[in-house]
Amino acid sequence: MERIGSYTISHLIEEGGVAAVYHGVQESLKRPVAVKVLQHRFSTDERVVDYFNRESLIIARLNHPNIIHVIDRGLTEDGRPYFVMEYIDGTNAARLIMDGALTFPKKLDILIQTCKSLAYAHKNGVIHRDIKPANILVDREGHVHVADFGIARFYDGEGDADRKPERLGTPSYMSPEQLKDSRAVSFESDIYSLGVVMAEMLSGRRFPKNHVLASPLAPDVPETLERLVRQCLDPLPENRPASAELIMNRLLTVSQGVHIGEARKKQAMGAAPAMEEIFAILDIIRESDQGALYLLRHKEKDRLLVARTFRNMSRGVQAARMLMNLRHEGIVAVQGVAGNSSGHIVVMEYLAGGSLADRMVMPLDVREALRILRSVVQALQFAHANRITHGNLTPSNVLFTDTDGVKTGDFAMNDSGDDAEKDLGLRIQEDVLACGALFYTMVLGFSPVVDDGNLVPHKPFKNLPRDVRHLIARFFTSRQDIRFTAMGQILAALDQIQGSKSQDDLTVVTPDSRLSSLLRSAGSLVNGSRSSRRAVFAAGAVLLALILGGLALLLYQKLS
């Protein structure tokens, strides 16, 4: 059998004009893989090689269950680039449409999963540019995996002005602006292509060349869904739906959560059976051993909400009940709390912009990270003033509205039992540190590392603006005269940064000499030998150091 790198090739899966995909086996793990190899005739074409290599890099950055995963990449013995993906045992949407055996609920399920993948890619600035049924893989369990990001690119809002106009994609699925000039492509271009896929999936027929859809698309297609398809196919990008997430939610409303199953719906509402009369479960957003996150529709008000279920969340439920009577523009609004001996349910407002975790494929722009940090800190300052702490601040519970506003949710919902015994001041210190870890991860793409109570910055740290480095240092230093201890201090520092920079520059005007010496020490750790350090690769280690220091400080205050 032929080998490519460390992979044994068994047979050809599919061959296109640019690349061929082979079925292979990763010998080290004895698992099946798909190996995509550039065709011989393009191995010296720099443009094609660039697109091919970029595909593997883009997919590797996108970590989503509905986007195919890249495992490895390399060069064949004759110098052709290849990359290795997970093997999807199944088929693609083009064949399923051709077979004509899909039920209406299954069509909706495939489209919903496709929307999820596109929504995630778009939140991370990636435009696919070649959405079509052949690139939507469906495994034997019905899970969708969107593939073929070969001509995708990161969107910067300015297009490829320096590149000659060229036709990239599959013409029959392209938007009018993409057909005219690929430099004009935008997220709305993917929405148009998705509309063509929806039309073909729902009607069971190829999209007409004259772009005139039959009406109705099919006997089982509701009028509301047909209007959605036609809106996606509007010739003007600005008239199309604003996002793939919005399309997904409309599809979920039509499907009424039929893909979940009645048994799982009843299980979800087990803590409050009466809620079944008020809400319809549309989708499962996330599940874990501790509970799940569901998308709901209020039956009477036709409004989307989110429900989080818990097995045992005493402090989290208490915080949620307090937040029901409090409102802050930066905190996710709690609409209701219910529970019994089997668990609890907290119902919250739904935010269409997704979470910060969805946007962190690459480090964020410093200005954007500062904007997000300010909103989170303001929300926590309000909560702390009402004796509510968060206790589990992560990118997953920093959420965005449809207009890109920032809100923080899931207060006190990591209840481990020990948290309730902690002093309020100590819990506030934990939130302060969590803000530092969050900001560090936003701007650098790494979790913070500490050694002997001090920050050990990653190499990109030295490239950050000086005042931003000062800000980060104040979260993690062991020096109490410098370290942040309250949200108000962080906001004051953010105000100073805001006042010390122009729109286009981030530089400190009057650097603090104490912080300057601290940063010089941090810089020496970046550039020096690391063999003697006991690095702890998690923000939890920093947290432990602060907890111990805080306990010691509290004990000293009580004794003195």
Supply the residues annotated as catalytic: 130
Which of 16, 149, 29, 28 has the alpha carbon at shortest distance from 83?
A: 149
Distance CA 544, CA 275 (A): 40
Report how far Cα 358 is from the mean position of its chain's Cα atoms.
1
For 519-560, give the DSSP string: HHHHHHHHHS--TT---B-SHHHHHHHHHHHHHHHHHHHHH-
Q: What type of residue sits at position 119?
A: A
Q: Exposure pattern of 496-530 as b/e (b: 16+ CB <10 Å)?
A: bbeebbeeeebebeeebeebeebbeebeebeeeee
- How far is Cα 176 from Cα 170, in angstroms, rounded to an integer? 12
Count of other CB atoms within 10 angstroms of residue 164: 8
CA distance 241 to 231: 7
Taking the CB of residue 142, how many other CB atoms lie within 10 A of it? 12
Question: What is the rounded distance in angstroms from the CA atom of residue 195 to the CA atom of residue 110?
Answer: 13
Give the Å distances, CA to CA, from 97 to 89, 93, 203, 233. Answer: 18, 6, 9, 19
> CB–CB of 156/65 below 8 Å?
no
One-character DSSP codes across 378-397: HHHHHHHHTT---S---GGG
In 3D space, the residue among 290, 301, 296 whose CA is nearest the CA of residue 265 turns out to be 296
Report DSSP letters for 247-259, one per residue: HHHHHHHHHTTTT
